[in-house]
Amino acid sequence: MILMRRIDELHLNHPNMGSRMLSDTLNLEGYPVNRKRIQRLMRLMGIEAIYPKQKLTVRNPEHEIYPYLLRGKTITFKNQVWSTDITYIPVKMGFLYLVAVIDWFSRFVLSWRLSNSLSNDFCIEALLEAFELYGIPNIFNTDQGSQFTSLNFINELKRREISISMDGKGRALDNVYIERLWRTVKYEEVYLKDYYDGKYAFESLNTFFAHYNFTRPHSELNKKPPSYTYLQ
């Protein structure tokens, strides 16, 4: 699990690294690994070199893909655009997956869930909680992963008449705000802790997200926390 965590750290800092470069780097750092093992662990963790984005979600070719609606768009008010994504969370005996829903204008984390699998149940739970607590956005953006292109996820957006936007294939910056959130979560919380089980991970992340939303100054929000913008 130490190796998987290090792969995660390297991927976050250098998402262009493929399995060959990762295995070479890890060998230089003293990890006796070959490329085949790194490829297996990357598949298990759901990551791949950019193009340029984490691929925790895998596209289903039978699902409909929607166009990206946000290129060149100015975000000027809360609930104009929400987005979601999934990231990998290491724990002592394995790993979990974290999904979050974020408001683009305020960077406020509207909801989140942890799961030990990549089925989309936990993604829908987070989505419905965000609707229940904070209303309906004009646009909802996701990547093209099967969790977010599935009919049961898409129908929750359609029945509320929300415009659906999806990242272009291989475009990390299309969902830049939640990518920045993951970096903050990893470096200010996950990498500083040694989660020994899912219960501790949940409790610690719950404390962190409360801090992130309500007390942590944000450099792009005049050094105010996201709640100052979202809840005004």
Question: In this structure, are 36 and 121 located in the same domain?
Answer: no
Domain that holds residue 216: 81-230
Joined tokens for residue 133? 């607590």
Q: How far apart are CA 155 and CA 84, in angstroms?
A: 16
Question: In this structure, are 117 and 196 located in the same domain?
Answer: yes
pLDDT digits (tens, 9 = 90+) for 134-152: 999 999 999 888 899 999 9
The CATH number of residue 166's host domain is 3.30.420.10
Question: In this structure, are 29 and 86 located in the same domain?
Answer: no
Confidence band, pLDDT 50/70/90 cuts, at residue 41? confident
| 57: in domain | no
| 63: in domain | no
Question: In this structure, are 85 and 14 located in the same domain?
Answer: no
Q: How far apart are CA 22 and CA 147, in angstroms?
A: 27
Q: How far apart are CA 211 and CA 14, in angstroms?
A: 27
Question: In this structure, are 13 and 125 located in the same domain?
Answer: no
Question: In this structure, are 8 and 101 located in the same domain?
Answer: no
| 144: in domain | yes
CB 146 within 8 A of CB 57: yes
Q: Whole-model pTM?
A: 0.79
Confidence band, pLDDT 50/70/90 cuts, at residue 66? very high
| 76: in domain | no
Look at 98-107, 164-173, 222-231 and tell me which has the smallest mean pLDDT.
Answer: 164-173
Question: In this structure, are 37 and 151 located in the same domain?
Answer: no
| 146: in domain | yes
Question: In this structure, are 162 and 223 located in the same domain?
Answer: yes
CB 141 within 8 A of CB 174: yes
Confidence band, pLDDT 50/70/90 cuts, at residue 51? very low
- Total number of domains constituting the chain: 2
Joined tokens for residue 76? 């000027």
Q: How far apart are CA 39 and CA 60, in angstroms?
A: 21
Confidence band, pLDDT 50/70/90 cuts, at residue 175? confident
pLDDT digits (tens, 9 = 90+) for 7-30: 888 887 777 788 888 888 999 888
